[in-house]
Amino acid sequence: MKNETNKIERRFMFGRRVIYSSVKEITRENVVEELNKALNAHITNSSEIDYLYRYYKGDQPIINRQKSVRPEINNIVVENHALEIVDFKKSQGFSEPLQYVRRGEDESLSDKINQLNEYMFIADKAAVDKELAEWFFIGGTAYRMVLPSRNPEEAPFEIEALDPRYTFVVYNNGFKKPPLMGVKYIATEENEILYSVYTPTTYFEIRKNQIIKEEPHALGYIPIIEYPANHARLGAYETVLPLLDALNTIASNRLDGIEQFVQAFMKFVNCDIDEDTFKKFKELGAIKIKGEPGNPADVDIVSEELNQTEVQVAKEDIYQMILIICGMPDRKGATRTTGDTGQAVKLRDGWSDAEARARDIEEMFKSSEKQFLRVVLKICKELAGLDLSIKDIDIKFTRNKTDNLLVKSQGLQNMLEAGIHPRIAIETCSLFSDPEETYTTSQPYLEKWQTNPAGYTPGNNKPNPENVNLGDAG
């Protein structure tokens, strides 16, 4: 396991490695060999994730700062912008629970999907999602595990976010890169490593390169699912680590400059003063000196004040670059005195870029979430009789739908008045987390929009030739 007492040094990292194998199936005969091969890449990944995690908690290289000149003045300042970046991105995308909604028009599925959402609530999935998000924004990847519940009366499954420093998935390097095995490990009381290995059909426990337990399971899938933040598996602040270190150096040196100016050296010119006299001088605040003809005596302070304005310009430039690279909004935008409002402010201050980055993360998350749902639905069907398929479910991220409410509402009304089908208009306006459910429950109130004066009939997207005047087509 990791030893967090070691000093943290500056490192350059470029994302986590995906672990591949050329075998098509993990069996009793090759599981130990493939595990040992995978550990080589995993150990490097684990070390880097541990570094990023410590950095996120504030254990950053500036803490080991040493000075050779005036070492007694050595201020250590940690401006933990890594925490700021992770917390912003996590709260932006996962502040509200994910919702599973119905895909298509089969209303009979609504009750089943509501039951699935109830199971997710009981299993505390929203909290696990936040933990997952925290891990993949820190280390570039995260892992979720789902198993049949020990208390199926409440929910048929249990879920957990695993520590990516002690978890990994091995993929086949062929077409579609299917997962071969999921591995998690712990240290036993005897200070030995116990590996738990899951394949789609079998569970192994391995210690000291020996299989100590083997049993089949009926899931049909690997219950450990990887959630990468992006294809390169880069953490949210990994690409700006040198800039974050530079900010810490600037803040620490700036405080040193202030302290060195206050505690400046005394300079005595053409006069001698012993230690006792100097102590009395510091107590009284005044000193008497005597010069000689041709050698005037003087007492002065050796100091050079740091130009704080220039330092602030450099610091703000670095911070702005961090915000741009990480897709963060400019928090100082509110202090600007401009006439910009609405969408202009979003574009100027980077909020639209932050929203675009969040949507990109959503698509990566949904891909892994589908793998998770396949395992969950298999368990629900076997233990709770809940029969659903992936094609029946859509995954919705719930964010601030009231933002620009007036503009969105006006857009919805304009589309309806223009003859756009209400379902399409509701989906397009971005007002609702579940457009299909909104359309279904609102149908009694949408009747006036269902009849199109241009010749369309309710429930039919084809025009009625008897009502259409072709001569007016131009």
CA atoms of 19 and 182, how far apart (whole Å): 11
φ, ψ (nearest 5 deg) of residue 322: -60, -45
pLDDT of residue 406: 75
In what helix (H) or strand (E) does residue 184 lie, and over which residues does it extend? Answer: strand 179-187
Q: Identify the three-state secondary structure at position 268.
A: strand
**Tens digit of each residue's pLDDT (9 = 90 or more) over 330-370:** 766 544 555 555 555 555 567 777 888 888 888 889 999 99
Tell whether the model's pLDDT for residue 154 goes beyond 80: yes
User: In whole numbers, what is the pLDDT of the chain averaged over residues?
Assistant: 81
Residue 292 is classified by DSSP as: B
| Per-residue burial over 71-101, b = 16 or more CB atoms within 10 Å of its CB, e = otherwise | eeeebebbbbbbbbbbebbbebbbeebbbbb
pLDDT at res. 183: 95
Give the pLDDT of residue 290.
Answer: 64
Confidence of residue 176 (pLDDT cuts 50, 70, 90): confident
Q: What DSSP assignment string belongs to 190-243?
A: TS-EEEEEE-SSEEEEEETTEEEEEEE-S-SS-SEEEEESSTT---TTGGGHHH
Domain boundaries, the chain: 19-228, 238-338, 401-467
- The rounded radius of gyration (Å) of the Cα atoms in the chain is 32
DSSP alpha helices (H): ranges in 263-389?
275-284, 308-326, 343-349, 351-384
Contact criterion met (CB below 8 Å) for 237 and 85: yes
Is the pLDDT at 71 greater than 80? The verdict is no
Residue 111 has pLDDT above 90, yes or no: no
Average pLDDT over every residue of 193-201: 93
Q: State the pLDDT at residue 224.
A: 95
Q: Is 256 exposed, middle or buried (0-12, 13-18, 19+ CB in 10 A)?
A: buried
3-state secondary structure of 101: strand
Long-range contact set of residues 104-110: C-beta below 8 Å, sequence gap at least 24? 104/392, 104/436, 105/436, 106/392, 107/440, 109/388, 109/392, 110/437, 110/440
pLDDT tens string 441-456: 787 877 777 655 444 4
Q: Which of 165-169, 172-176, 301-305, 314-318 has the lowest mean pLDDT?
A: 301-305
CA–CA dist 138, 86 (Å, integer): 7
Dist. CA 386–CA 52, nearest whole Å: 41
Percent of the chain with pLDDT over 90: 37
For residue 417, give the 3-state DSSP assignment. Answer: helix
Q: Average pLDDT for residues 387-398, to the nearest whole number? A: 86
Question: Of 55, 9, 70, 8, which Cα lies nearest the Cα of 253?
Answer: 70
